[in-house]
Amino acid sequence: MKKFVLVLALALMALVLSCSGGGGGGDDGPDYNYLNNHNANRLNGHTIRWPSTTIYVNASGVPGAQAAFNRWAGSVNFAFTGGSANIIVRMGNPGAGRCGVTLTRWYTSGRIFQALIIINPDQSRCRSGLAATITHEAAHAIGYFGHEDGIMGPTSNGDTEITGKHRGFLSLLYSMAPGTNIAGFLRRKDGSAVSGVAFDPNGRRLIETKHYSR
């Protein structure tokens, strides 16, 4: 009987260890694979973000821009200014009849250098509306690359939700320094491949990521 209890205790310990020791795989832990898919795989498995969590935005002349940006506030914060800024937002022609476009320029060190968002003044074909278009483009300007679901879907389909995945992405991205190598945290399956341009800690080479969005 004593032996049975010991075996049971060891089995329980093993169970507890296997649950807590994954280090970034589970549903409730940090999702490094998601971070890789939407950011780090552009820089060979290294994070790309603004150096500061306070990001200056000049969105003068774009109605509702402050509230639209502030939907992402938390892991980062936005300071709105009429002068020089990290992110410039203006009304204009994004091209190809799109709702908006974002050009995010970043160094091979993983530091974002500048971002430009152009919003189409005619949002009549953008089912999610002007505010959602701005919120969507804002995510591209702070490091969310590519598209998936909710407000980060590829088309303006009326879904304006910011999901837990989106929030977790930003929280994880801005908890680490720019250029952090996350390759060691990736699960083998689904999207663990790292690719993209070579990371350079002193990188002064500028890369431009362009999102014709929504």
> Footprint of Zn ion on residues 195-214 (CB under 5 A)?
211, 213
Q: What contacts 28, CB < 8 A, 6 or more positions away?
A: none
Residue 37 in the binding site for Zn ion (CB under 5 A):
no
**Which residue lies nearer to Zn ion by CB, 153 or 179?**
153
Give least dist CB 213 to Zn ion, A.
3
Amino acid at 169: F
Measured distance CA(154)–CA(85) in Å, rounded? 27
Q: Which DSSP string corresponds to 128-140?
A: T-HHHHHHHHHHH
**Which residue lies nearer to Zn ion by CB, 38 or 211?**
211
Give least dist CB 183 to Zn ion, A.
25
Nearest Cα to 99, choosing from 135, 56, 72, 142?
Answer: 135
**Which residue lies nearer to Zn ion by CB, 49 or 211?**
211
Q: 44's torsion region: left (phi>0), alpha (psi -120 to 50) or beta?
A: left
Give least dist CB 54 to Zn ion, A.
24
How many residues contact Zn ion, by CB under 5 A?
Answer: 2
Q: What contacts 170, CB < 8 A, 6 or more positions away?
A: 72, 74, 75, 76, 142, 143, 144
**Which residue lies nearer to Zn ion by CB, 46 or 211?**
211
- Check the CA dihedral 82-144-26-180 and report its sign: negative
Give least dist CB 86 to Zn ion, A.
19
Residue nearest Zn ion, Cβ-based: 213
Give least dist CB 100 to Zn ion, A.
8
**Which residue lies nearer to Zn ion by CB, 24 or 129?**
129
Binding site for Zn ion (CB under 5 A): 211, 213
